[in-house]
């Protein structure tokens, strides 16, 4: 997160770092559940992608949230972001666990079928709203 913030300050763009983090998340999600079978050559890049995706996406979302709204709306926007983030973590884990179980316990297949399309939609949302983001 601190590196993502430093990079975004250096290049003067939160949205580029956010987009790169979501692309890294897509690649990470594609390989994460197959990394053990593919050996150490893929394991290390997957761990690096996870660090970039998890660290940069969250920090850029919080930074953009604070910059995208008027000062008098910042506390409400931050509250909505915190609520949505925690709600997603609470229900998302149970929801995805049920999906994995329904798909025969195949984490890789469930990840490819559910998580990758979600990340692609998020990438499209960022791209289509490019000019509106700080």
Surface-to-core class of residue 61, CB atoms within 10 Å of its CB (0-12 exposed, 13-18 middle, 19+ buried) = middle
List phi, psi (to 5°) of 129: -110, 20
| Look-up of token digits 């409400």 | 76
Q: Residues near 52 by Cβ (< 8 Å), separated by ≥ 6?
A: 4, 20, 21, 24
Give the tens place of pLDDT for each residue, 50-102.
988 988 999 999 999 988 899 999 999 999 999 999 999 999 989 999 999 99
pTM of the entire predicted model = 0.85
**Residues 6-40: tens digit of each pLDDT:** 999 999 999 999 999 999 999 998 888 877 777 77
pLDDT at 32: 85
Please give the structure tokens belonging to residue 64.
Answer: 């953009």
Helix (H, G, I), strand (E, B) or coil at 12: coil
């Amino acid at each position: 997160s601190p590196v993502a913030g430093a990079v975004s300050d250096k290049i003067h763009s939160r949205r580029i770092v956010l987009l790169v983090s979501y692309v890294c998340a897509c690649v990470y999600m594609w390989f994460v559940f197959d990394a053990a079978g593919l050996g150490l050559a893929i394991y290390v890049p997957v761990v690096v992608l996870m660090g970039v995706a998890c660290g940069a996406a969250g920090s850029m979302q919080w930074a953009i949230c604070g910059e995208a709204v008027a000062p008098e709306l910042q506390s409400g926007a931050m509250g909505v972001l915190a609520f949505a983030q925690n709600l997603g973590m609470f229900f998302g884990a149970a929801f995805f666990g049920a999906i994995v179980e329904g798909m025969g316990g195949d984490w890789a297949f469930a990840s490819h079928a559910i998580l990758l399309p979600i990340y692609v939609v998020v990438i499209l949302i960022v791209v289509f709203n490019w000019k509106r983001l700080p």
